[in-house]
């Protein structure tokens, strides 16, 4: 059995810890919020972020990153995307040279416009990517924690690393596929959060299924355009980490991004909406990075641009609707 070190005690890190702990692996979870860790240790449950899911005896809390990682065969980073660089930098000296490293954050770093694997390469060196794996797909922590059937994918430049993490996580309720398209998987996971904000705004404004279907479909088209420009494969965006993740994030009330969008569509300001959701809303940060990245890449992404401008207060949601519906006539393909 493996020793797993988890960095980040949010809902998703906790849910994934329950998956591997169920298979008998030993898990140590570290988080910068010591009070939160002590609550999890006392209640044997993540009361704040994943209530109702008991923690296995195989899961223990670690109060330093060194304690969590020094014996870890596998390290899982579940910090928000905007904090991945600092989390990896802080943990760097404690990660064993032979440990596999998984990242599950879905975002693009503000300012640098870098994907998580690009940050990992910058912090750890190019050779590190041989043991770096992305895990992504349509997967709400609330459902994974309750052992509801879920399917995801692992992506790595090294096929053997992707297969090793596939073997580590796969169960009769958690199916895992593999791919080597790291760029496509990371972009699909990051950009769908922006479209989910838009789907929520649409719902909050009282629009129907037609509007949401259009947002999702045309949103996927612009995600794919940017992905192809940056070297991803088109089939990735038709798979679990593209279409699958987009569907689940745009349609479920488990989705923080959709819930935040609903509040904004109802008239609430962006900052107030984030506070109301009570957890990190990745799409609010990624919208800015994606908008700037699209400009740099010369890729037209009108939905992303409109949602970004709504999140910054530059335009209102009704103005965004008018700008999108009033665009010049085009062929679909």
Alpha helices for the chain (secondary structure H): 11-22, 34-43, 65-69, 84-91, 116-124, 141-145, 159-169, 182-204, 209-229, 245-251, 256-265, 270-277, 282-297, 302-311, 317-325
Cα→Cα distances 168→2, 55, 163, 287, Å = 9, 18, 9, 33
* Tokens, residue 11: 């809902």
Catalytic member of 192, 229, 276, 295: 192
Is 192 considered catalytic here?
yes
Q: For residue 98, which phi and psi values (nearest 5 degrees)? A: -105, 5
CB count in 10 Å sphere of residue 23: 16
Using alpha carbons only, give the angle 174, 165, 230 rounded to the nearest 5 degrees: 100
The set of catalytic residues is 192
């Amino acid at each position: 059995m493996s020793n797993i070190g988890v960095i980040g005690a949010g809902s998703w890190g906790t849910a994934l810890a329950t998956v591997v702990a169920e298979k008998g692996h030993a898990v140590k979870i570290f988080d910068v919020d010591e009070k939160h860790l002590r609550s999890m240790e006392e209640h044997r449950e993540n009361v704040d972020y994943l209530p109702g899911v008991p923690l296995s005896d195989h899961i223990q809390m670690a109060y330093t990153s060194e304690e969590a990682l020094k014996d870890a065969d596998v390290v899982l980073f579940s910090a928000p995307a905007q904090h991945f660089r600092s989390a990896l930098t802080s943990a760097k000296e404690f990660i064993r040279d032979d440990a596999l490293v998984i990242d599950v954050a879905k975002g693009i770093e503000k300012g640098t416009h870098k994907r998580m694997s690009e940050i990992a390469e910058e912090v750890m060196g190019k050779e590190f990517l041989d043991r770096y794996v992305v895990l992504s797909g349509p997967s709400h922590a609330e459902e994974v924690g309750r052992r509801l059937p879920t399917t995801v994918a692992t992506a790595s430049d090294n096929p053997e690393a992707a297969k090793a993490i596939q073997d580590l996580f796969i169960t009769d309720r958690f199916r895992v596929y593999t791919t080597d398209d790291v760029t496509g998987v990371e972009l699909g996971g990051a950009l769908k959060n922006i479209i989910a904000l838009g789907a929520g705004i649409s719902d909050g404004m009282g629009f129907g299924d037609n509007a949401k279907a259009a947002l999702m479909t045309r949103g996927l088209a612009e995600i794919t355009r940017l992905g192809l420009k940056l070297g991803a494969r088109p089939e990735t965006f038709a798979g679990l980490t593209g279409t699958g993740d987009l569907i689940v994030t745009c349609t479920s009330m488990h989705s923080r991004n959709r819930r935040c969008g609903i509040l904004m569509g109802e008239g609430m300001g962006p900052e107030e909406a984030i506070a109301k959701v009570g957890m990190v809303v990745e799409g609010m940060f990624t919208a800015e990075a994606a908008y700037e990245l699209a400009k740099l890449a010369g890729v037209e992404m009108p939905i992303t641009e409109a949602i970004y401008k709504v999140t910054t207060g530059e335009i209102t949601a009704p103005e965004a609707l008018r700008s999108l519906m009033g665009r010049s006539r085009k062929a679909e393909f």
